Amino acid sequence: MNCAGVRDQLTEHALGVLSVRDAATVERHLQWCAACRKEAGDLQRATAVLAFSPAPAEVPAELQDLVVARVRSVAGVRTAPPAPRRARLAVAAVAAAVVAVSGLGWGAVMAGRAARFEARADVATMQQRTAIEEFQRLVRSAEFSDPADKVYIGRLLPAQGAGGGGAAMTLVSPSIIDLAIVMVNGVPPERWSTLPFTVHLTAASGARLKVGRIDALDSGGADTISREFNRDLSLFDRVVVVDAQGRVVMSGPLATKADVASPSP
Amino acid sequence: MEGLLAGNDDAIRTLYGRFGRPVFSLGLRLLGTREAAEELTQDVFVMAWRKAARFDPTRGRLSTWLMTIAHNLAVDRLRRETGVSRPTLVLVDEVPDAPGVDEETLLIERDAAMRALASLNTADRQLIARAYFRGLTAREISEADGIPLGTVKTRLRAAMIKVRKANEGKELM
């Protein structure tokens, strides 16, 4: 692309709305063309002015710690143990349980027993049962002894033709932080090209909360994500997993623990 | 930057202290929810760590670099996530002010931004807001408004140059 073509796109490049491909073309040109680079710099500084125009919002107090932990984690630096608050202990307990579930349900079981199951669906169902049992066991643990705590558990069933399934749990508590844990599994390899999946909690009102993104699945088509929320999750009674194109992969309702039945083996 | 690259706690907190709030505020404006803004803020500082080695202070300000990362990540997300409602178009000078806070630098930056935007007429301010805060391309604006693409591009560029000139000599960081 010549200078005229690049300059035609520099404003949109500075505004960040060019497609990835067009932006890459422009940036390659800017590497060697000083004149266009100067023009791009001027427009970029104008964009930086716009960046500061939104009204300063109130930032969640815990965000700084989350940012530091994320960067240190990516940088490979061991993060100091969290403050021994009850909320953190509870979350840590949940996380540990999920890891245990992951190891049992989707690591060892897949590696050791998968060969004895001819149908992937059988494995997936077994894993969902394991997850739900682990969730229920977790709920009975001391960390969730507050009678006001409410736990909602549910199975995720695949959209027609999608394959796979999953299990999910939310904790709604007046005394500790609310959280959600979602496991998907048995997603057939032919669907892996539609990653990343995005996992949402939804409410009858249409409100939606993102739990997280699944960028990759293990060899059993499984992954687990969790997220803490500084808000009441009690109205969010459904889990929906969508693929990169926004198509529903699987979904399911969350019900109180007493209403949840383990899937049949 | 060396501290950031090493994952140094103090360096990350210093950078966050300067830019955490504007990044979060920009995320909230673009993505519409506090949850999304929180995730974006974390992603921005992780991306800053990944790109820190490539930051060249002789070629641009730290604030420009970091806020560009924030904006690009937010627009990518807007375009990627089907069903995420785009933020309601609100002209920047209609956004209510937050109560005064102990972040003088941020307030000065914002004051400079508001003055620069005030140099534009309403139509041009709205045009820039649609591209910058809603991630609309010139072509999308052209098709929505029935205006020739070349006209949209020319107006966008002229408005951006005006913002740049209005802010000349007021850059802080």
How close does chain A come to B112, measured CA to CA in Å? 8
pLDDT digits (tens, 9 = 90+) for B117-154: 888 888 998 999 899 888 888 999 999 999 999 999 99
Q: In chain B, which among 49-78 make CB contacts under 8 A with chain A?
A: 49-50, 59-61, 63-64, 67-68, 70-72, 75
pLDDT digits (tens, 9 = 90+) for A193-249: 888 999 999 888 777 888 888 888 877 777 888 887 767 787 888 999 999 888 899
Chain B residues touching residue A42 (CB < 8 angstroms): 161, 164
A42-72: burial string, b at 16+ Cβ within 10 Å, e else: bbbbbbbbbbbbbebbebbeebbebbbbbbb
How close does chain B come to A89, measured CA to CA in Å? 22
Q: Answer whether A201's CB lies under 8 Å from A252's CB.
A: no
Residue of B nearest to A57 (CA): B25
Q: How confident is the model at residue A9 (pLDDT cuts 50, 70, 90)?
A: very high
Per-residue model confidence (pLDDT) at position B135 = 85
Q: In chain A, which among 74-113 make CB contacts under 8 A with chain B?
A: 74-77
Six token digits for residue A153: 């558990």
Chain B residues touching residue A198 (CB < 8 angstroms): 81
Angle of helix B149-166 relative to helix B122-132, nearest 10 degrees, comes to 100
CA–CA dist B49, B43 (Å, integer): 10
CB atoms B25 and A242 under 8 Å: no
Per-residue HEC secondary structure of chain A comes to CCHHHHHHHHHHHHHCCCCHHHHHHHHHHHHHCHHHHHHHHHHHHHHHHHHCCCCCCCCCCCHHHHHHHHHHHHCCCCCCCCCCCHHHHHHHHHHHHHHHHHHHHHHHHHHHHHHHCCCHHHHHHHHHHHHHHHHHHHHCCHHHCCCCCEEEEEEEEECCCCCCEEEEEEEECCCCCEEEEEEEECCCHHHHHHCCEEEEEEECCCCEEEEEEECCCCCCCCEEEEEEECCCCCCEEEEEEECCCCCEEEEEECEEHHHCCCCCC
Six token digits for residue A89: 């202990």
Give Cα B93 to chain centroid, integer Å: 15
CB atoms B46 and A48 under 8 Å: no
pLDDT digits (tens, 9 = 90+) for B67-102: 888 988 888 888 776 443 333 333 333 333 333 333
Number of C-beta neighbours around residue A217 at 10 A = 20
Does the pTM surpass 0.95? The reply is no
CB atoms B68 and A198 under 8 Å: no
pLDDT digits (tens, 9 = 90+) for A58-80: 888 889 888 888 888 777 654 44
Q: What's the start-to-end Cα distance of chain A, in Å?
A: 61
Please give the full DSSP string across chain B, using - where no structure is assigned. -HHHHTT-HHHHHHHHHHHHHHHHHHHHHHH-SHHHHHHHHHHHHHHHHHHGGG--TTSS-HHHHHHHHHHHHHHHHHHHSTTPPPPP---GGGSPPPPP-S-HHHHHHHHHHHHHHHTS-HHHHHHHHHHHTT---HHHHHHHHT--HHHHHHHHHHHHHHHHHHTTT----
> Which of A55, A70, A244 is facing B42, going by the closest CB pair?
A70
The answer, yes or no, to whether residue A258 has pLDDT greater than 60, is no
CB atoms B95 and A43 under 8 Å: no
ipTM for the whole complex: 0.78
Chain A residues touching residue B59 (CB < 8 angstroms): 41
